[in-house]
Structure 1
């Protein structure tokens, strides 16, 4: 197993294992789950180029769902197949980020495994929603920007532009990826201020202009299918006004919802969302969008540890990861949404796994083998909660009480 000590085989091996995990019993249930009732019909319209629908979001995520349906059929496999690939890209992307930051396969592997076993990634891997695709583009885009940091010559620009393009695709999936362009730009400037030798040959103004410019062009290109609609096709003249229509849809005041929650409660894993809890495929089944308590609550401790490592030991990488998480949560205080839901925390839950790996890396001499124990506990909880994450057959309508640690989870 020595090949697993090298970064590329380790990343590919973990990505393949995650893909197998996400695909097991993917087609259960055979009914539309949660927001699939919105996105699958919209994907059908896109597949047929019929006309605009679900205009509050950009097109790319629904285009990818339509691609899955074209490849595998208009059935549960077609609806969800590409979501599993997106989640596996998140796992390998997290490995890449940690490897590029710390240069240790163990640290990168810890983060990748924590992401795969964090319930949020598993659940989003198995549903036809936009957030999984958005996260894949954000994570791989950030990995590409860090990859550029390690390059020389023209490769710096090639990798930087790749990262910008991937972030543009993220925004073309869901607008909530847009703040990450600003966060990435700010992180770049802070890193260059402390270590000017990073990203050699790139002037900061040129780098930021390329980041924003390429992302904008790629974002606009994702609307190309709408120019081919049979009914109400987009034109160059209506493309920009259409953005205003999307904004109005995004900011409309919605009626209260059973599972709504405030952004500041999400880090506490306080109010998850039942994507499904009803009889389906001949049995009672449930899918709960919940974070793995070990990762969610342990990640908060890791964030504090990362801040301590930054101020006490000048570990800028750990401190930067903590700041990144804080920014990813704080942005929801500014986004003009009338309702909030726990699944909006999806990307932040990914950064928590990175923070945990960074904290274990910093204190690896003092906390030797603690990372293994932490991974084992994470895996135990994943196995325990698996039935209500994967739509397994349950004993009956009241079976969910077995997993309800908090009354707010009901």
Structure 2
């Protein structure tokens, strides 16, 4: 220590060449050590940690409750019909159901013809390996967590802020509950994420390069896959298409018309192929579902009243067009109101959730209540809303004082945050605004894709905070997210509690 102090006290000119190099090395080494304390040594460590945490959170108590939960009533039936070749009709495209059915079939799931699901809450018999089907949803739910980190880093969000954005996906109740049941929203979010990540890679490629065509293909296919899960995925392919066609922010020049058409064709081809597989897999009458198809199709279904062994199937394109038109019409014609429906402006403030499952029993003169209640993590929902509103205000202030901002040294960094933020804000808005025009019943789980863009925006906004403060802020927010997750975990994992403890957790009047 004495020699080090004496060396530092001498002027730099009196140091030898070797001594002159030491301080810069020490400074560099110190920086690495400090960084290692604050972050994982590199991004792969963070991805691994988040993957492990996601596996635990999505698969923990996945067999509970051992009964039909909310829309498992429909999707469990669709899985069984796909595996038995029985026709059915749904307002959503086939890919999500195909993945649930054949993914679980590979794991060992087999339909039980003696079990008929009649209503929500019906217990699954031991012969039905429902956990295998739930596991497919859980696997996609797991993947959405590390994917958030990868996308954040590709948007040039700092490691600390990326950790915050990823933690918000890890601990949010909406994606967590949907990803533990026989539902499709974990697949929906995953393929939207893949499409966004592929687009970010596409926009970095050089025109007419081999990499560009590879990423064009992958972007088109992943966007088509997202749309093949649910039509509500359209916002992500739409935003990607607008940026690509007009060459906004991420691109020096717009993609050519040929490139745009090629990517779109890849997506459309994948979308159409899912219907092709469904038409060829389902060959038995579906009873009441047959009426959704034209007579010439019903004549080909074995067991149908109009069945004709000599009948030939109509052309695929004709069937494809007919069924898609019928899906859209049926979706628009749903007029029945639902007890747990809510509006888009309820979702952004967590005003009301959905009671997915409820069981009551009396124990020692106490009512024990077991429930699954779909709700957003309050910390995450309000943090996201705060960041979205704050960013909108900053855009207004920038438009007013842009001449002053452009003269500041931090302008380049602020400019990048502004453009990336505008892109994420567009994703948030495009996922929400269509529901203003939707007249049918909608639910808080429809907010999942939009919330994801808001969570990324929250991470991006945090990069505007000074580095030292940012670290402590990230730590504090993650602690709050985790504490909220623990507090409301009985509503996620169907943990039996006395009724009064459930009442304590009802912080808003519309929560049940």
Same fold (TM over 0.5): yes
> Which residue number corresponds to residue 217 of structure 2?
161
Contact kept, 8 Å, 2:203 with 2:250, in 1: the verdict is no
1:195–1:116 Cα change, 3 Å? closer
* 1:347-366 matched pairs, under 5 angstroms: 347-365=449-467
Structure 1's consecutive aligned runs of 4 or more residues displaced over 6 angstroms after TM superposition are none
1:405 is aligned to 2:461:
no
**DSSP 3-state at the match of 1:300:** helix
CA 1:239/1:194 → structure 2, altered by over 3 Å: closer, same or farther?
closer
Structure 2 gaps, min length 5: 1-35, 110-127, 285-297, 302-312, 399-413
The corresponding residue for 1:172 is 228
Cα-to-partner distance string for 1:230-250 (whole Å, 9 max, x where unaligned)? 225675131211111211221
Partner of residue 188, structure 1:
244
Cα drift, residue 12 of structure 1: 3.3
Please name the residue that 1:56 is paired with. Answer: 91
Residue by residue, what CA displacement relative to the aligned partner does 1:100-144 show, whole Å, maximum 9, x if unpaired? 011533222221111110111111111111222111111111111
Q: Distance in 2 between matches of 1:187 and 1:362?
A: 24
User: Structure 2 residue aligned with 1:249, among 314, 330, 335?
Assistant: 330
* Matching of residues 121-132 of structure 1 within 5 Å: 121-132=175-186
Provide the C-alpha distance between the structure 1 equivalents of 2:75 and 2:339, rounded to a whole number of angstroms. Answer: 21
* CA distance 1:364–1:317, change in 2 (3 Å): farther
Please list, as runs of the form range in 1=range in 2, the aligned pairs for 1:310-329 lying within 5 A after superposition.
310=395, 312=398, 313-314=414-415, 315-329=418-432
Q: What are the residue-to-residue correspondences of 1:302-341 with 2, within 5 Å?
A: 302-308=387-393, 310=395, 312=398, 313-314=414-415, 315-334=418-437, 336-341=438-443
| Pairwise CA distance, 1:408 | 1.0
Classify the secondary structure of the residue corresponding to 1:256: coil
> 2-side partners of 1:54 and 1:159: how far apart?
34
What secondary structure, in the 3-state scheme, does the structure 2 residue paired with 1:284 have?
strand
The Cα offsets for residues 177-221 of structure 1, whole Å up to 9 and x where unpaired, read as: 12322122123346x3445437xxx73423322332211111011
For 2:468 and 2:211, the matched residues in 1 are separated by 38
* Residue correspondence of structure 1 range 194-273 to structure 2 within 5 A: 194=249, 196-197=251-252, 203-223=255-275, 224-231=277-284, 232=298, 235-236=315-316, 237-273=318-354
- Residues 1:342 and 2:444 are matched in the alignment: yes
Q: Does 1:94 align with 2:148?
A: yes
Equivalenced residue count is 402
Whole-Å separation in 2 of the counterparts to 1:32 and 1:345: 23
CA 1:226 to 1:400, structure 2 compared with 1: closer, same or farther past 3 Å? farther
Give, in angstroms, the shift of residue 55 of structure 1: 2.3
Corresponding residue for residue 14 of structure 1: 50
1:399 Cα deviation from its structure 2 partner: 4.2
Structure 1 residues without counterparts, runs of 5 or longer: none
Distance apart, 1:6 and its partner CA: 1.8
Q: Which residue matches 2:486?
A: 383
The alpha-carbon distance between structure 1 residues 5 and 104, as it changes in their structure 2 partners (threshold 3 A), is: farther
Deviation of 1:366 after TM superposition, in Å, equals 7.2
Q: 2 CA distance for matches of 1:279 and 1:4?
A: 45
- 1:271-290 paired onto structure 2 within 5 Å: 271-279=352-360, 284-290=369-375
- Partners of 1:349 and 1:316 in 2: CA distance: 19
Call closer, same or farther: CA 1:28–1:135 in 2, change over 3 Å.
Answer: same
What's the offset of the Cα at 1:324? Answer: 1.8
Residue 201 (structure 2) aligns with: 147
State the Cα deviation string for residues 126-185 of structure 1 (Å, max 9, x = none).
111122211111111111111223345312221232122111111111111123221221
* Superposition RMSD in Å: 2.3
The TM-score with structure 1 as length reference comes to 0.91
